[in-house]
Amino acid sequence: MTYDETHNHVMSRPLQRRTNGVEGVSDARIVHIIDDDILVRHLIEGLLEDTGFQTQCHRSASIFLRSYDDTSAGCVIADVRMPEMSGIDLLEELQRSNNRLPLIVISGEADVALAVDAMKKGASDFLEKPFPPDSLVAAVRDAMAPNGGQRSGLNPGKLAMLSARERQILKKLVEGKSSKIIAYELGISMRTVESHRAKIKTKTGCRSIADLVLMEIASE
């Protein structure tokens, strides 16, 4: 992604600066931004600081791990594809060390399987670049919330509102299958799959594949 593309989408509209911290979030908490692209790091840093968050930037996951004090609170935003250690690798490393620091994975690719894998491995959220500023801020707020990064407002009971076909498609989505693969397996058009996906999101109140995965896991 070029600088202009990232800037136009991540910073598409100004957000009001807040100097007294984020409501409900301790001033001691820090958002760690990890991306090998310096421009993306600085754009995300500016967006979050304008919204009242404290941030620290790191050019790699390994550098973050060497400098991070595991007694401090906060959350992490990590790109999924980086040299040496990816965002998924970092997620797994934090879990191996029993560190429950919420981690938001960001990716330049619209990869359903990757999003599903990240969420099943315990990511707090999965955002595709370019993401609207409000989506990033909402993801960070959820990650920093007292409930330990679990998404608020998701109601697994809403899955009962889905039709049999919608449940079938949701199951395949949570397995990491793309709309194209689902259409082939069910013998329907990709447009029909996309229409069902939109209805699933509307009925469940989910914003993304990440939300759908969390809801499906909660219902098991």
Per-residue pLDDT of the chain (220 residues; tens, 9 = 90+): 443 444 444 434 333 333 334 444 444 689 999 999 999 999 999 999 999 999 999 999 999 999 887 767 899 999 998 988 999 999 999 989 888 899 999 988 767 888 888 888 889 999 988 888 998 999 999 898 876 555 556 788 889 999 999 999 999 988 888 899 999 999 999 999 999 999 999 999 887 888 888 888 777 6
| Surface-to-core class of residue 152, CB atoms within 10 Å of its CB (0-12 exposed, 13-18 middle, 19+ buried) | exposed
Written as one string, the DSSP assignment of 7-21 is HHHHTSS-----SS-
Structure tokens at 111: 């990869």
* Calpha distance 202→220 (Å, rounded): 21
Written as one string, the DSSP assignment of 45-70 is HHHHHHTT-EEEEESSHHHHHHH--T
Domains and CATH numbers, the chain: 3-144 (3.40.50.2300), 156-219 (1.10.10.10)
Structure tokens at 88: 């998924």
* Calpha distance 104→172 (Å, rounded): 23
